[in-house]
Structure 1
C-alpha cells in the first residue's frame, strides 16, 4: 500500500502573512464592537449625555472642522507634524545618551560608581516636575518641551540598557575573554547584541513616556500641537474636539511604536516572535 504523498510545508512567509491577517481581522472586529457600543450608548439610546461624552457623529464633525478649517491656531496636520517632530527629537537624543550611559554603567563598575549616585537622584523626579525649570531656563518655546521629553525618555533607556548588560550570561563573557575579544569589537559583538532585547524594551517605554510628557508640556505655552488641541478644547468645553485630540495622540503613538517594532525586527532577526 502506497503511503499518501507528504503535504508540502507551508512557506514561513505565507504563514507569517496568514497570522498577520488574522491579527488584523481581530483588531478590526474589536474596533467595530467598540464603535458600535459607543454609538448605542450615546446616539441611539442617550444613556450617556452628549455633554459628558460626544457621539460618533459629533466627533466626525469636529474632525472635519480641524482638518479643513483648523482649530487652536492650526489645522490637524500641522498639529500632528509639530508634535511628532518634538517627540522624535527628544526621544532620539534621550535614547542615544541613555543607551550609551546604561551600557557603560553595565560594562564598567567604575562608571557605575561615578554615574549611579547622580542618576539615583534624578530618577525619582517626575518628568512633569521639570516643566517650571525648563520654562525658566528656555522659555516657552520648543526647546523647553524637548528638555522635558528628554528627561521622560532618558530614565527608561538607562535602566533597561544597564539591565540588559548585567543579564548577559557569564559564559559569554568568558568565551569573549578566551577568544581575545576586546575594545570596540567587544562592544560590537558582545555587549550590544546581548543587551539588545532589553534596550528595545527601554525604547518602547521611552517612546510612551515621550508622548505622555509632550501632551502635558504642550498644555503650557504651545502655539500648535496635539496638547494645544486638548488645552483649547477643554477651555471651550468641546468634548468632541477633546476626543479628536486624544485619538490623534493614540494614533501617532501607535504608528511610531509600529516603526520601532519594524526596526527591532531588522536589528534582531534572530528573535523568535
Structure 2
C-alpha cells in the first residue's frame, strides 16, 4: 500500500501538469508559441535519432566532468574531515569559490582551453566539485569518535582504519554529495553547450529557438529531465546497494 501511495502522488503530479499544459495550449490557440503535449510527443518521435545523439553527447560531458570532480573531491574532502589543520587552511578559500555559479567560469574557460569539449568538461567539473567535497568532508568529520576509538583499540590503524571505519561511516553523506554534484553538473552542461560546444541538448535547444520550433525545444527539455531522473535513480540504487 505504501509503495502504491509513493507511486500515486508523483503520477498525480505529472497528470495534473499535463492537464494544465493542455488547457494552456488550447486557451492560447497558438501552437507556434505553446505547442500541446501531442505536438511535442510527435516531435520527440520524429526527431528521436537527433535527440538520442544529443542526449548521449550531453551525458558523456557530464560523466567526464563528474568523474573528474569525484576523483579530486573525495580524497580532498575526506582528508579535510580527518585533519582539522588542513580543513582550517582550505575552508576560507573554498568559501570564496563555492558561491560562484559554474557557468560564470565559462568566459575564462573559453580563453584558457578554447571552444569545444574541454570547456564543457570543466564547467561540469566545477559544478560537481564543491558539493562532493563538502559532503565528503562532513561525512568523515562526523564519524563518531567512539566508533573510531573502538576500531583503534581493536588494532585498526592507517589504511585499515580508513577502509573499515571512516569511509563506510562517511558513505551516506558522500553519496548525498555525489548525487548533488551530478544534478548540478547536469544543469550546468546546458549552459556550456549553449556557448562553447558542438552538439548536445543545450545546442539542440538553442537551434530550436533559431528555427522558431518551440516543440523541438520542449522535446529537448523533456529528454533532459528524463535522463536526469534516470541517472539520479541509478545513483540512488547504487547508494542502496552499497549500504547493504
TM-score, with structure 1 as normaliser: 0.82
Aligned residue for 1:76?
51
Q: Measured at CA, do residues 92 and 19 of structure 1 come closer, stay the same or move farther in structure 2, by a change above 3 Å?
A: farther
Aligned residue for 2:41?
60
Aligned residue for 1:36?
19
Q: Which structure would you say has the larger RCO, counting Cα contacts within 8 Å and 6 or more residues apart?
A: 2
Structure 2 residue corresponding to 1:50, chosen from 22, 31, 50: 31
Structure 2 residue corresponding to 1:219, chosen from 190, 194, 201: 194
Structure 2 residue corresponding to 1:90, chosen from 58, 65, 68: 65
1:202-248: CA deviations, max 9, x gaps? Answer: 11110110011101100013221000111111223322111111111
1:69-96: CA deviations, max 9, x gaps? Answer: xxxxxx1111011011111111111022
Structure 1's unaligned 5+ residue stretches are 1-17, 69-74
TM-score, with structure 2 as normaliser: 0.92
Aligned residue for 2:238?
263
SS in 2 for 1:41: helix
Larger radius of gyration: 1
Aligned residue for 1:156?
131
Aligned residue for 1:105?
80
State the distance in 2 between where 1:191 and 1:103 align: 9
**How many residues in Structure 1 have an aligned counterpart in Structure 2?**
244
1:136-171: CA deviations, max 9, x gaps? Answer: 111111111001110100000011111111222221
1:84-110: CA deviations, max 9, x gaps? Answer: 111111111102211111100000123
Contact 2:124 2:189 in 1 (8 A): yes
Structure 1 residue corresponding to 2:113, chosen from 134, 138, 143: 138
- The answer as to 2:182 corresponding to 1:235 is no
State the distance in 1 between where 2:171 and 2:136 align: 8
Structure 2's unaligned 5+ residue stretches are none
Q: Identify, as 1 or 2, the structure richer in helix.
A: 2
State the distance in 1 between where 2:25 and 2:92 align: 53
SS in 1 for 2:195: coil
The root-mean-square deviation of aligned C-alpha atoms, in Å, is 1.9
Aligned residue for 1:4?
none
State the distance in 1 between where 2:187 and 2:19 align: 28
1:169-189: CA deviations, max 9, x gaps? Answer: 221122123223211111111
Contact 2:28 2:34 in 1 (8 A): no
